[in-house]
Amino acid sequence: MSLRQRISEELLPFVQQPGQYIGHEWNQPVRPGDWERADVRVALAFPDTYSIGMSHLGCQILYALCNQMPGVCAERVYAPWGDAEQIMRRGDIPLFTWDTRQPARNAHIFAVSLNYELGFTNLLLLLDLAGIPLRGEERAEQDPLVIVGGPQADNPEPIADFVDLVVIGDGEHSMVAIVELYRRMKREGAGRSDIVKQMARQFEWIYAPALYDVDYHTDGTMAAFRPSGRSPASFTPPQRVACCQTPDFEDACVPLRPLVAHTEVVHDRVSIEIMRGCPQRCRFCHAGYTKRPVRARSVDRILEIAERTWEATGCEEIGLLSLNTADYPHLAELAGRLNDQFQERHVSLSVPSLRVDKMLADIPWLVSSVRKSGLTVAVEAASLRLRNAIRKKVTDEDLFAGLKQAYAAGWNSVKLYFMCGFPGEREQDIADIFHLSRKLSLAKRAVGGGPASITASVGWLVPKPHTPLQWAAQPHADYFHEARILLRRTSEQFRSAVRIKTHKVERSILEGVLSRGDRRLSGVIEAAYRLGARMDGWDECFRFDLWQKAFEQTGLDPAFYAHRERPVSEILPWDHIASGPDRAYLRQQYDDLVARAFQPAQAEHPQ
């Protein structure tokens, strides 16, 4: 039987939600025969399930872009759930592309979007099921180039042994350039290793890990990052890899006929990126520092995208996406014109990144047009002192005024995001997460009715590369467990409509390890995968004990990566990646954060 038949007969009848594996969604541009006829075959892989990957705008952009290029065929690949993985292994069914069910290994380029540290084992799952050797040094001439990009590529060292090339920065311009160079060199008969070296030579935003070696001090810190003996004599790899920036964001590729999923996905809507980058630069935010400069699309262009994508999909919701939609410079005009254009069609607007100090206060009529399923506000810290330290420009007055306006507009439930573990944090700062949430709940009485239902979601700090916190020590697990107990005890003292929800502590600790790790962690990631770790971002799949065993097997200490304050003189594993501001600027920001965080506490919450 063909692979297509085998999937239909041996896989689909025996898995949960078979609709997520069948492909052939509405607006799919790829047709049978396109893969075989293409000069360049690209497998666009997302290291998570179909329901997550189909909601990822970046993958839809690259998919549309590649399939607009003559002679190029791009098909999608997602990570199968555990039941499908077992069936595929038992029946020797290789990882396949979703569009026309081709063996993923037959791609020329296997491109993976990395968005989250806990997707690293899923990267290995994709390679393993495809039949692609996990480590780059073991790959043969017929194996595809394994290229990764996305936010998590800004520190690619933990997965350095598994990838051939890393794209730093935006994907639109870089993907076109990579495919065109590959096509030319393939026609000229170039071998796999020659293509890797030429990519690194020609594109300043391409990083080829195999062309570098790392030396370490006896204490485990990095001593040097240098070109390896595998580098060609005629080429010295750059000491610093640049960041690719899309030069024409206004007219950059947009999927005007996006795929419409067969099954329920995380975000079932038209998604439009209205702005890239964020002017706020909260000191813990990786994207705020790496997605610079800020670029915005015009209102006319956004309206054109909205009209054409709605006509192609019939979606009942349009999402305006950016790191901080409230900072879009023409928001009032955009919201008004979108409302005029789509209100009678019963199409709602979704604004995932509301900021109460501006959005709710300045554009209250927009609030009334957005669905009332729930309002999400990122507060980050309960005390004004810590908010000032991390540069979260939200005051208590803004919070109370904005939420009262939202309550008056019809909202009854609010989700507040907080983070615990900042330098200088005190016990009272943690308890105030509940106290502030309770006061914001009770503020609804001022506009009528009882208290608002509030969920205070508390995450644990994960210091990120290319931010001022890249030198900071992540608190130990015991600290976070004690914070969770303190929050529970504080909330039990009051009858309130506030629900405290906390993240898994061990998962955040693992994120902290992988976020700032070096290439020695490749061995840990592979060991964890061999032990059964995958889908680590899912509560029902995450097993910290497997990771603990992996660290024991490899002899590495996770505390070295997560819980250690880095001195300013230390070479950091990502110093050669130019994704954000220079070290001097980041260090000045970190020193200022610490100075502000350790200032005396003040009375900060209005009644």
How sure is the predictor about 43, in pLDDT bands with cuts at 50, 70 and 90? very high
Give the distance from CA 374 to its chain's centroid.
Answer: 23
Q: Give pLDDT tens digits for 152-195.
A: 999 999 999 999 999 999 999 999 999 999 999 999 999 999 99
2-to-7, 10, 11, 94, 273 alpha-carbon distances in Å: 9, 11, 13, 12, 40
List all residues 6 or more positions away from 5 whose beta carbon is below 8 Å from its beta carbon. Answer: none
How sure is the predictor about 408, in pLDDT bands with cuts at 50, 70 and 90? confident
Distance CA 179, CA 87 (A): 34
How sure is the predictor about 394, in pLDDT bands with cuts at 50, 70 and 90? confident
Q: In sequence order, what DSSP letters do the residues of 265-285 get, joined into one string? A: -S--SEEEE-EES-SS--TT-
Element (H, E) at 148: strand 145-149
Q: Return the structure tokens found at 483.
A: 């914070």
The structure's pTM equals 0.94
Q: Give pLDDT tens digits for 334-365.
A: 988 988 898 889 888 877 666 665 555 555 44
What average pLDDT score do residues 544-558 get? Answer: 98
How sure is the predictor about 205, in pLDDT bands with cuts at 50, 70 and 90? very high
Q: Does the CA dihedral 123-128-130-134 come out positive or negative?
A: positive
Q: Give pLDDT tens digits for 314-329.
A: 998 888 888 888 788 9
How sure is the predictor about 366, in pLDDT bands with cuts at 50, 70 and 90? low
Mean model confidence pLDDT for the chain: 92
List all residues 6 or more positions away from 293 whose beta carbon is below 8 Å from its beta carbon. Answer: 245, 277
How sure is the predictor about 369, in pLDDT bands with cuts at 50, 70 and 90? low
Q: Return the structure tokens found at 68.
A: 């607009």
465 secondary structure, DSSP code: T
**Closest C-alpha among 246, 104, 237 to residue 175:** 246
pLDDT at 481: 98
Give the distance from CA 434 to its chain's centroid.
Answer: 28
pLDDT at 361: 55
pLDDT at 458: 97
The three-point CA angle 568-569-574 to 5° equals 80
Question: With 60 as the cut, is the pLDDT of residue 588 above it?
Answer: yes
Give the range with max mean pLDDT: 91-95, 247-251, 263-267: 91-95
What average pLDDT score do residues 20-48 get? Answer: 96
What average pLDDT score do residues 25-36 get? Answer: 95
pLDDT at 603: 46
pLDDT at 606: 42
Domain positions in the chain are 3-19+35-167+170-204+206-227
- The terminus-to-terminus CA distance of the chain in angstroms comes to 71
List all residues 6 or more positions away from 2 whose beta carbon is below 8 Å from its beta carbon. Answer: none
Pick the CATH number of 3-19+35-167+170-204+206-227 from 3.10.105.10, 3.30.1360.120, 3.40.50.280, 3.10.20.30: 3.40.50.280
The alpha-helical segments, DSSP class H, found in 68-143 are: 82-91, 120-130
**Closest C-alpha among 187, 196, 205 to residue 232:** 196
Higher-confidence position of 233 and 573: 573
**Closest C-alpha among 329, 236, 229 to residue 277:** 329
Q: Give pLDDT tens digits for 447-492.
A: 888 999 999 999 999 999 999 999 999 999 999 999 999 999 999 9
Q: Return the structure tokens found at 536.
A: 């680590």
